[in-house]
Amino acid sequence: MQHLNNIIPDSNDFRSVARALTIVENDLDGADELLKSLSFTKRCPVIGITGPPGAGKSTLVNALITHLITGGKKIAVLAIDPTSPFNFGSLLGDRIRMAPHFNHSDVFIRSLATRGSLGGLSAKAIEMTDILRAAGFDYILVETVGVGQSEVEIAGLADITLLVLVPESGDEIQNIKSGLMEIADAFIVNKGDRADADLFVNNLKKIQKSEAGLPVFKTIASKDIGISDVIGFIQSKSSVTNTRKELLLAEKAYQIIRQKRMAGVDKKKLRQDIAEALKDESFNLYVFLSEWLIG
């Protein structure tokens, strides 16, 4: 087992952060002890950035980093990628959009596969975010793909959640899952130079049910337009005590408990066993599961 003194994450030493994340992500020796030893002495807002594929989230994250690193601030990014059902790997195609910051001494970027979590998150994302929080970063950005109502899982991870949309979402806005709308603290209409962007912004404001309404920002992240307004919102929210602390912690606990109870389920082996069982023409999924779970 590794000595804890060698794996305490520190934002001034990115190698220690990377090592701690690897231990936790892969459940290596010392992972549980490391998590139990974490202390959170520095206020560090976790900013969740979610939305459908193609909304420009990575480009937006890149623009946010450019603003947030001023004044020697240290930024951590956890980019959560969908896991391929075919190769069980992480799809990292859009990481190239953050390339300008990969070698910056104050920016730490890590990718994580979702491991099949329907909402685009996994309990590992929660644990790894806590590693980053304990390391003493000033801001943590968590980027994840929105794939439906299960994305409300991000409520268990982020202090501030930004839902990124594009003007083309206008025709579908009435069909956006209510749960996804409700977890947002602000909406960002990215690629705001496209047709009907202003109309979409106005419609988005109208359909909100709360009297105060959540802020809606129009941005063109690729040109750094509208980003300063988003930064101002993040900074104003970061100084306010989070009123959802109990909800956040309960959701985090639920996800971690679920992961631990599912720890013995090997999805790859499950697929292989089903392939073998399908050779029997009388295959019944429920009979198969009852025997598989016992075995």
User: 155 near 254, Cβ under 8 Å?
Assistant: no
* Count of alpha carbons within 13 angstroms of residue 139, beta-carbon side: 27
pLDDT confidence of residue 220: 96
How many whole angstroms separate alpha carbon 232 and alpha carbon 68? 10
The segments of the chain whose pLDDT lies below 50 read 1-3, 5, 84-94, 118-120, 149-150, 211
pLDDT confidence of residue 221: 94
pLDDT confidence of residue 209: 58
- How would you label 74-86 residue by residue, b for 16+ Cβ within 10 Å and e otherwise? bbbbbbbbbbeee
How many whole angstroms separate alpha carbon 132 and alpha carbon 74? 11
pLDDT confidence of residue 118: 43
Q: Record the tokens describing residue 117, joined without a space.
A: 């979590």
pLDDT confidence of residue 278: 94
Give the pLDDT confidence of 70-81 residue by residue, as tens digits: 888 999 999 887
What phi, psi does 294 have (nearest 5°)? Answer: -70, -40
pLDDT confidence of residue 89: 42
How many whole angstroms separate alpha carbon 92 and alpha carbon 97? 10
What does pLDDT average to over the chain? 80
Q: Quick one: angle between helices 57-68 and 227-238, nearest 10?
A: 70
Q: Where does the chain hold its CATH 3.40.50.300 domain(s)?
A: 4-261
How many whole angstroms separate alpha carbon 151 and alpha carbon 52? 10
Give the pLDDT confidence of 79-125 residue by residue, as tens digits: 887 654 444 444 444 455 566 677 788 999 998 876 555 444 567 88
The CATH number that domain 4-261 falls under is 3.40.50.300
- Eight-state DSSP code of residue 82: P
The model's pTM: 0.81
